[in-house]
Structure 1
Amino acid sequence: MKDIVADRLNKIEDLEQRKLLKNIMTSVFLNLVDYQEEMNRKLEEKVFNEITGTTENLDIYVTVCSRDELDPIHEFLYPMIPGDAEKKNCNMTDIISRLSAKEEVHLLTLFLQCDFVKSKELINSQRAFHGEMITTEGQYRIQVSLQQNKTYMDEIEKLYNVFQKNSIPWRTVNHPYANKFFDAVLVGCEGTLKEEEEIQEIRINLEEYEEYKRLNMVPLWNIARIELKNQGFPIPAMDKVNFEHILSLRKPGVEHGYLIDGEEEMIKYIKRTPEELIVVSPQEKSGSWNVLKVTQPVSSKSADLAYELISNKRKNSFMDAFIRKQAITVRAKGEISRIACSFEATQDFELEHVEIKEQEGKATETYDMNPFISDHVRSEKDKKVMKLRFRASDNSFIRHDILSFLVSEIQMYFPEYKCEGELS
């Protein structure tokens, strides 16, 4: 509008009239234009904030690194299991007692840097591999089998339960590294182990999988466990039964996301403001609350990572945010394509074809990243399969895992089908 006014004024040839009109416009009209533009900006900001909701700072970022390269004071990445930061040693006494009780003996955990299809072949083969256990008194030839380590998937399930307690919609955690950890389980040993021996080294030959083997790897994410104390005394809630516990977010940082982790019966609901969490609870005494801090990433720190930093962050799109607010899912290929393109991590994937077919029981290229979410309304065996074929320009070892994330997200929009993905 200001440009239009300036253009019209410049076309007035009479300088006296131009000066007079310019003074009038500057003193009255342009101030009104500034006010209107500011009000429009605030209205637009309000609409966008209402559509975006409270989950924009709850994006989960993940990666993996060697224990030797783990930074204990990293600004936003922390071990999924805090104990992983410490080196774990096998205890001979514990091994012997477990063998005597005919229990499984887990010697070590390793990371396989290979594609999901390759690791699935290994799981299905149930093979045994040869190795050596070197102790202070000699060495033993051993046989081990590899079992998929579920520890980190269990942590994601715990996170899902925390989201439910906080009444926040769940978004699949895009953790392509979590299912690539395997436990080496002792299945055979030549010789008799002695309790006084100390294990110095365990060597395992994975044969054709040896090139993918990585030891002492630690999965990381941007979730820190902290405690927050009440700000003052609890205030009686409006229902005159519960109490409001006010937790200030200024010290840990208002720019981060926060989730209350506590007993479900102690959390009625949670109110959020930019600088506070208000927990409505039957607990009448002041105290500390366990909180999961979802730290926002620092771009300069992510550039030095050996493995790619992956997230479930959605692209900043008003249309996507608006559609998510609606309770209706459009059953169309275009809608599936929109969902697939709405995440930053899936920019290299393009939907090619959607096919509805009967279940065939064949091996699939994807897996469910939300196995802890069950459908209590429909029978899994009666569902038809929605086969989603994608084209991917990415050729990394986690591409099938990213595809599994995509399919798992689409599955939540189409629970009446069993969604499976494949790459063309």
Structure 2
Amino acid sequence: MKEIVQDRINKMEDLQQRRMLKNMMTSVFLNLVEYQDDLNRKLERRVFDEIEGNEGNHDVFTALCPREELDPIHEFLYPMIPQDTEATVIDMKCIVDALSQKEEVLLTTVFLECNYSIIKQLLNSDRKFKGELVTSKGRYNVQVRLKQNRVYQDEIEKLYHVFITNGLPWRTVNHPYIHKFVDVMLTACDGELAETEEISEVTVHLEEYESFKRMNLIPLWNIQKLELKTGGFPIPAEDRVNYEHVLPLRKTGIRHGYLVDGDEEDIRYIKRTQDEITIVSPRDKSDIWHLLQLAEPVETVIGKLYYDVISNRRVDGFIGKYRHKQDQRVRSKGEIIRMIQSFEQSKILELVDHEIDESGVDHSVTYELNPFVNDHVRSEQGKARLLLRFRSREVRGNSQFISEDLMSFLVSEIQLAFPEYKCEGEWA
């Protein structure tokens, strides 16, 4: 508009009229234009701010490291289970009781650094392997079998319920490493163990799978538990029934994401601002609240993890953010491609094709990451299969053995958006 006005003024030959018009435009019209432009920019910023929300503060970053290399003061990564930092102590009494009742008992947990399809084949075979227990009284030959470890998946399920309690939409946690942990179950022992014995060493030979075996690895993520006390006395809420508990966040860091970890009956509503969280609760006394802090990742200056840091971070444009905000779903191949390309994993995996398959033949190499998300409206039986075919773009770092796990993450996200299908992934 300013350029148009300037062009019209320059074309006027009468200098007196040009001066009068220029003074009038400068004093009135151009100020009005600038005021309108400023209002338009504020309106645009407000629309984008409402669409963006604060979901980015709740991205989950995951990794894996050996126990001896764990950094207790890492900038943003913490053990999923704090007890993993301590050496495992095997309870001999539990082993003796289980063997006397001819039951199997957990001996140790190992990590298998290989594709999930190999682990799946191994677990389905229910093979038995040989091992050895070294105790304070001697050596014992033992027989073991492998079983899928569920400890870390249970932690993710707990996180899902915290998201629901906080009224936030659930996003699949992309932790490809935890599905490669297997429990070594003791099934038989040559000789009779005594409760007074102490186990000093456990060895298990997995035969052709021995090269995949890794010991003493700890899964990490950017979530840690905090306890915060309300900054003052609870304030009666507008409904005159509940109370508002204000938790200040400046000391713990306002750049991080926070989730209130509490019982549903104690939480009516949660309000968030930049520097505090307000919990509307029937509690009428100042109390300590348990929070989960989702730390904002920072560039690590010293040290480097051997295993790649993976996340469920999504890079959406305006349309994608608006769709998530309004919960609008478009049933099209373009929407599937857009969703997959919004994740960092699209740099490694490329969606080649998809099809609706009703044959019932399973060629999938993926697994469900959200088995705890139930669809109470649709039955799993009779669902058509939405088969997604991928190919690998590149091999980045040491992430080749988690490619099927990354594919499972992408397929699980598509599953949340297309619950009417049973989504599966395979290699093209």
Verify: 1:314 aligned to 2:314, yes or no: yes
Name the structure 2 match of 1:106. 106
**2:195 — aligned with what?**
195
- 1:366 partnered with 2:366: yes
Letter in 2 for 1:375: D
8 Å Cα contact 1:132/1:139 also seen in 2? yes
Q: Which secondary structure does the structure 2 equivalent of 1:329 belong to?
A: coil
| 1:117 alignment partner AA | S
Q: Is the 8 A contact 2:142 2:189 kept in 1?
A: yes
Partner of residue 325, structure 1: 325
- Indicate which of 397, 404, 407 corresponds to 2:411: 407
Alpha-carbon distance in structure 1 between the residues aligned to 2:134 and 2:334: 59
Closer, same or farther: CA 301–223 of 1 in aligned 2, 3 Å: farther
For residue 57 of structure 1, what is the amino acid of its counterpart? N
Structure 1 CA distance, aligned partners of 2:244 and 2:219?
Answer: 36
Say which is worse superposed, 169-178 or 315-324, in terms of deviation: 315-324
The superposition leaves residues 118-142 of structure 1 with CA deviations (integer Å, 9 ceiling, x where unpaired) of 1111111111111111122221111
8 Å CA contact retained: 2:224, 2:293: yes
> Which residue is equivalent to 2:80?
80
Determine whether 1:219 maps to 2:234.
Answer: no
Asked if 2 retains the 8 angstrom alpha-carbon contact of 1:59 and 1:311, the reply is yes
The SS at the match of 2:57 is coil
User: Structure 1 residues 160 and 18 mapped into 2: Cα distance closer, same or farther (>3 Å)?
Assistant: same
Residue aligning to 2:94: 94
Distance of aligned partners of 1:80 and 1:9 in 2 relative to their CA distance in 1, 3 Å threshold: farther
TM (normalized to structure 1)? Answer: 0.91
User: Greater CA deviation, 244-253 or 135-144?
Assistant: 135-144
> How far, CA to CA, are the matches of 2:248 and 2:100 in structure 1?
53
Indicate the SS of the match to 2:56.
coil
2:136 matches 1:126: no
Does the 8 Å contact 1:346/1:402 carry over to 2? Answer: no
- Residue 284 of structure 2 is matched in structure 1 by 284
Q: Aligned-pair distance for 1:37?
A: 5.5
> Given that residues 129 and 204 in structure 2 are in contact (C-alpha distance below 8 angstroms), is that contact kept between their aligned partners in structure 1?
yes
Q: How far does the alpha carbon of each residue in 1:369-389 deviate from its partner, in whole angstroms, 9 at most, with x for none? A: 000011111111111111111
Q: Aligned residue for 2:156?
A: 156
Closer/same/farther in 2, CA of residues 302 and 54 from structure 1, 3 Å limit: farther
Q: Deviations over 1:218-267 (max 9, x none)?
A: 00000110011111111111111111111111111111111111111111
Q: Does 1:177 align with 2:177?
A: yes
CA distance in 2, matches of 1:233, 1:353: 58
The structure-2 alpha-carbon separation of the partners of 1:290 and 1:348, relative to structure 1 and needing over 3 Å to count, comes to same
Matches within 5 A, 1:6-405: 38-300=38-300, 304-395=304-395, 396-405=400-409
Relative to structure 2, which stretch is displaced further, 132-141 or 93-102? 93-102
Structure 2 vs 1, CA of residues 2 and 222 (structure 1 numbering), >3 Å: closer, same or farther? farther
| TM-aligned CA deviation for residue 20 of structure 1 | 12
Greater CA deviation, 156-165 or 346-355?
Answer: 346-355
Partner SS state of residue 278, structure 2:
strand
Closer/same/farther in 2, CA of residues 229 and 282 from structure 1, 3 Å limit = same
Instruction: Call closer, same or farther: CA 1:161–1:224 in 2, change over 3 Å.
Output: same
Q: How far apart, in 1, do the equivalents of 2:205 and 2:11 lie? A: 85
Contact 2:246 2:278 in 1 (8 A): yes
TM-score by length of 2: 0.91
- The answer to whether the 8 A contact 1:243-1:282 is kept is yes
Does the 8 A contact of 2:99 with 2:187 survive in 1? Answer: no
Maintained 8 Å contact 2:229/2:289: yes
1:387-419 alpha-carbon deviations (Å, 9 max, x no partner): 111222244111111111111111111111101
Indicate the RMSD between aligned Cα atoms, in angstroms. Answer: 2.8
Is residue 420 of structure 2 the alignment partner of residue 420 of structure 1? no
Q: Report SS of the residue matched to 1:183.
A: strand
CA distance in 2, matches of 1:232, 1:55: 28
**Cα 1:161–1:8 shift into 2, 3 Å:** same
Q: Which moved more, 1:186-195 or 1:246-255?
A: 186-195
Distance 1:197 1:3, change over 3 A: farther
Code of the residue aligned with 1:369 in structure 2: it is L
Which aligned runs of 4 or more in structure 1 are off by greater than 6 angstroms? 1-12, 17-34
Q: Hey, what's the Cα distance between the residues in 1 that align with 2:344 and 2:223?
A: 19
Letter in structure 2 aligned against 1:416: E
Q: Is the 8 A contact 1:302 1:309 kept in 2?
A: no
- What CA distance in whole angstroms lies between the structure 2 residues aligned with 1:96 and 1:211? 31
Kept in 1, the 8 Å contact 2:111–2:214? The answer is yes
* Matched letter for residue 171 of structure 2: R
| SS state at 2:330 partner | coil
Q: 2: CA distance between counterparts of 1:372 and 1:302?
A: 38
User: Are the structure 2 counterparts of residues 24 and 302 from structure 1 closer, same or farther at C-alpha, using a change threshold of 3 Å?
Assistant: farther
Q: 1:28 to 1:418 in 2, by over 3 A?
A: same
The C-alpha deviation readout for 1:76-125, integer Å capped at 9, x for no partner, is 11111111111112232332123224443211111111111111111111
Counterpart AA for 1:74: H
Query: Aligned to 2:58, what secondary structure does the other structure show?
Result: coil
CA contact (8 A) 2:133 2:202 kept: yes
Following TM superposition, by how much is the alpha carbon of 1:213 offset from its aligned partner in structure 2, in angstroms? 0.8
Distance 1:328 1:131, change over 3 A: same
* Structure 2: distance between partners of 1:71 and 1:25: 65
With over 3 angstroms needed to count, the CA separation of the structure-2 counterparts of 1:394 and 1:10, relative to structure 1, is: farther
Amino acid at match of 1:412: L
Call closer, same or farther: CA 1:19–1:308 in 2, change over 3 Å.
Answer: farther
Q: Could you tell me how far apart the structure 2 residues matched to 1:322 and 1:413 are?
A: 15
AA of the residue aligned to 1:376: H
Q: Distance in 2 between matches of 1:200 and 1:10?
A: 93
